Structure 1
Amino acid sequence: MQYWLFKSEPDVFSFDDLKAKGKKGQEWDGVRNYQARNNMRAMKIGDRGFFYHSNIGLEVVGIVEVCGEIHPDSTTDDPRWECVDVRAVEKVPTPVTLAEVKANPKLAKMSLVTSMRLSVQPVTEDEWVEVCRMAGFKKTP
């Protein structure tokens, strides 16, 4: 299993919006960055990710799961842009802020710190475990 971080502005599409989509989930559309798109190309069904509220909140608020592999993005006719489908798994017990991530030396190399603008980012297993610990999970999801 691989781990990821998906960024969304909560006033545009929040974790609660994703949760409302149910098991079917939602395509992670609108990504127009080659590196973020390539990250989605590497995803497999069952991979987990953090749902991060960007611009407003600046915090990890939920856990998502990839439920549909790469396919054309329905919001454009341009064949360069593809996306995966994700579904909500659960809210984190305690949101983890960007400031907390930056203050943690174990997360100094995390893409959220080093590539802050990238909307779909890889997360290492060690980073996954640490952020889950910070979020208050008793067992890593």
Structure 2
Amino acid sequence: MKYWLLKSEPDVFSYSHLSAAPERRTVWDGVRNYQARNLLRDAVSVNDYAFFYHSSCKEPAIAGICRIVRTGLADPSQFNAQSPYFDPKSDPANPRWITVEVEAVQALPRPLTLKEMRQDSALQEMALLNRARLSVQPVSNTEWRHILQQAGLSAANISRFN
């Protein structure tokens, strides 16, 4: 099992939106960076967990936890001419943009802010703090457990995610 951080602008799609989605699931569409796409295509697996991170907002923070439920999906927004993520060069027979489906697992007891993470010496090597541009980023096992602890999850809840 691997751990990830998925970024979304909360005014576009927040953790609350995911929690309210049918079956608490959605396709993670709109990723238009090749490195992030490659992670979604080649590295993210079913049953991996991810932090749902609210970015580009007043207080960027990790808001919740989601689980990868399907992989290897063609991002449907690349074929929708009405979508801001439409890609006229993408071919349905050989899609350029691959994505995953995620399911809401639980909101964090308290969101862990970017400011708090930057001040935490245990997280100084975290991709978010060093290569923050990607919308899909790996999270180490140590970082994962530490963030869950800092966000107020009990030891019993933390062990659910191993």
Do both proteins adopt the same fold according to a TM-score greater than 0.5, normalized to the shorter chain?
yes
Would you say 1:58 and 2:86 are equivalent positions? Answer: no
CA distance in 2 between counterparts of 1:70 and 1:89 reads 21
CA contact (8 A) 1:93 1:135 kept: yes
Displaced runs of 4+ in structure 1, greater than 6 A?
Answer: none
Summarize deviations over 1:2-31 as a string: whole Å, max 9, x none: 000000000000101001114361110000
Structure index of larger Rg: 2
AA matched with 1:74 = P
1:84 aligned to 96, 100, 106, which one? Answer: 100
Summarize deviations over 1:21-47 as a string: whole Å, max 9, x none: 143611100000011111112111110
Counterpart position of 1:75: 77
Output the TM-score relative to the length of structure 1.
0.96
CA contact (8 A) 1:70 1:83 kept: yes
Cα distance, 1:95 vs structure 2: 0.6
Counterpart position of 1:8: 8
State how many pairs are aligned.
141
Would you say 1:99 and 2:115 are equivalent positions? Answer: yes
CA distance in 2 between counterparts of 1:120 and 1:138 reads 26
- Percent identity between matched residues is 44
Kindly tell me: are residues 137 and 22 of structure 1, through their superposed partners in 2, closer, same or farther at Cα, counting changes over 3 Å? Answer: farther
